[in-house]
Structure 1
Amino acid sequence: MLPHVYRITKYDPADRDQHGHYIGAEAETSDHGPVEAAYLMAVAAFAEDTGVGQLAIREPEISGFAHFGPEPTVDGHGLAGLFPHDLAGFHDGAQVPIEIGLELVRAMLRDNGAWCRLEVEGRFSLHVGWDQYLYVGSSRPCDAALARTRTLALFPERLDASPYDFVLDQQHVQRPADADFWARLRWVVSSYRATFLEETYVRNASR
């Protein structure tokens, strides 16, 4: 868990009720304009302050048959132009430059149908929750990024942890397709003559 975690939103804390629920006039969707751009500039500031330029995609998802977001999905899940049409490159562990990471954040803010976490293990983490709530974690205090975020008319709030932090199900084994995996698969095939391998490379997509 990173020591410095912030919730960044366009929602003024002064406009919250006694339960912490926002009751102001800001919409729960992206404006696709200056406020969205402010979110992206804030993310860039935190990445720069932490000293990261490459991000790893973690737990990628695309919309399935049911979509519950406030905005309609778009063709390509907001990934068109970022990855090939077959989503090659959009998988758990894929490395992307910060510029692509910012475009992924844009797609998530617009609820286009794609979602993922972006991180540098032990140094930086980033993900978007519901209703334009952005969560950033860093190994550093990021005072300059906090100041920049405030000048962008956004509100960074310190948290102990994101409510969306990834917790691996103890019954689920998440492992890479490394040399040991393929050795075990060869053993299964040689023992049973045939086997069925299904890869879920993105949640809601398999091959």
Structure 2
Amino acid sequence: MLNFRITKYDPKNRNSDGHYKVDEWTCPSDVGKTFNGIEFKASEYFKIEEKYINAVIECLQSKHIKHLRVVDLESKFLEDNLSDKDNQWLVREEFKNIKLFEDKKLEIDDLKIVIKMILRGFLWCRLEINEQFSLRFGWDYYMYICCFDLNEGTIKKISETGLFVELLEPLYDMKRYDFYIQTCRADEDGHTLVEEEILLKTMTREKIKKGLDLSDEHIGDHNFDITPQNYAMFKNDFEFNFTEYEYCLYCDKIYI
């Protein structure tokens, strides 16, 4: 699949190493700061956010895709983020009502809500359909879409909104992964420390999906906690001691 970067950042402002040379806002918390002599206002943030969402919908419609799956969900601090007094100008009631879990099927209306929550820093996940479409967000308001192609009409519509569509080299082989079991223990401050990491030589995405009862549309390459409820798929490869340790499955992508 092809890897597209769709952002507000003009490629002409990058140096030969790809570093962006212009000082611009990179997250909603920058509202109120001054960039190039101009105050960054909330209205400008919401305007750009809407362009990102519309760009995603434009890409999905061009592919006749009506939903995506939640993949690699990170929502541990969602409630804290939503209740933070500094975030209240970004909170919407639908953020509190939507129920998210790994592999959840999101139709377009819910996709819009989740994309807003990701861009505003309340949670993180990838939004995908296995080997068809992948949407992910990086630091500093970067958005990436992987798909087999984007037609010229779609790219033109997105570009006309002021966003920039760039075709990049793929970062990693999307069909090759290494899976590790990490043995963890909490320190005195409650931070999780990895004490040991074991490569699972026979683990595959298909085994992960079957063991977790995930849909065919889930890619099966996410990280997750291993618990007494889901460890059965690993018991022939690893001996667990849940009374003393915590465990997680770490998926290491093979970078090109």
State the TM-score, normalizing by the size of structure 1. 0.70
Q: 1:79 to 1:92 in 2, by over 3 A?
A: farther
Q: Any idea what the Cα deviations from partners look like across 1:42-75, whole Å, max 9, x if unmatched? A: 011001111101110000002559xxxxxx9333
Runs of 4 or more off by more than 3 Å in structure 1? 76-80, 165-169, 172-178, 181-185
Residues 1-207 of structure 1 aligned to structure 2 (within 5 Å): 2=1, 4-30=2-28, 31-64=44-77, 73-75=81-83, 81-82=94-95, 84=97, 88=99, 90-112=100-122, 114-162=123-171, 168-172=177-181, 174-175=208-209, 176-178=211-213
Show the counterpart of 2:216.
Answer: none
What one-letter code is carried by the residue in structure 2 that aligns with 1:75? Answer: S
Q: Distance in 1 between matches of 2:14 and 2:166?
A: 13
Between the aligned residues of both structures, percent identity stands at 23
Describe the SS at the equivalent of 2:61: helix
Q: CA-atom RMSD, angstroms?
A: 3.6
Q: Any idea what the Cα deviations from partners look like across 1:76-135, whole Å, max 9, x if unmatched? A: 996852565xx74x22211110221122111111112x0000011121110110001000
**Conserved in 2, the CA contact under 8 Å of 1:8 and 1:157?**
yes
**Conserved in 1, the CA contact under 8 Å of 2:158 and 2:165?**
yes
What one-letter code is carried by the residue in structure 1 that aligns with 2:106? Answer: V
**Conserved in 1, the CA contact under 8 Å of 2:59 and 2:150?**
no
**Conserved in 2, the CA contact under 8 Å of 1:57 and 1:94?**
yes
Q: Distance in 2 between matches of 1:183 and 1:25?
A: 46
Q: 1:34 to 1:184 in 2, by over 3 A?
A: closer
Show the counterpart of 1:204.
Answer: none
Q: 1:54 to 1:74 in 2, by over 3 A?
A: same
Give the number of the structure whose alpha-carbon radius of gyration is greater: 2
**Conserved in 2, the CA contact under 8 Å of 1:150 and 1:156?**
yes
Higher strand share: 2
State the TM-score, normalizing by the size of structure 2. 0.58
Once the two structures are TM-superposed, the CA of residue 20 in structure 1 deviates from its matched residue by 1.2
Structure 1 unaligned segments of length 5 or more: list them.
Answer: 66-71, 189-194, 201-207
Describe the SS at the equivalent of 1:104: helix
Describe the SS at the equivalent of 1:23: coil
Once the two structures are TM-superposed, the CA of residue 17 in structure 1 deviates from its matched residue by 2.2
Describe the SS at the equivalent of 1:27: coil
Q: Distance in 2 between matches of 1:183 and 1:115?
A: 23
Structure of higher RCO (CA pairs closer than 8 Å, 6+ residues apart): 1
**Conserved in 2, the CA contact under 8 Å of 1:82 and 1:100?**
no
**Conserved in 2, the CA contact under 8 Å of 1:9 and 1:155?**
yes
Q: Distance in 2 between matches of 1:117 and 1:80?
A: 22
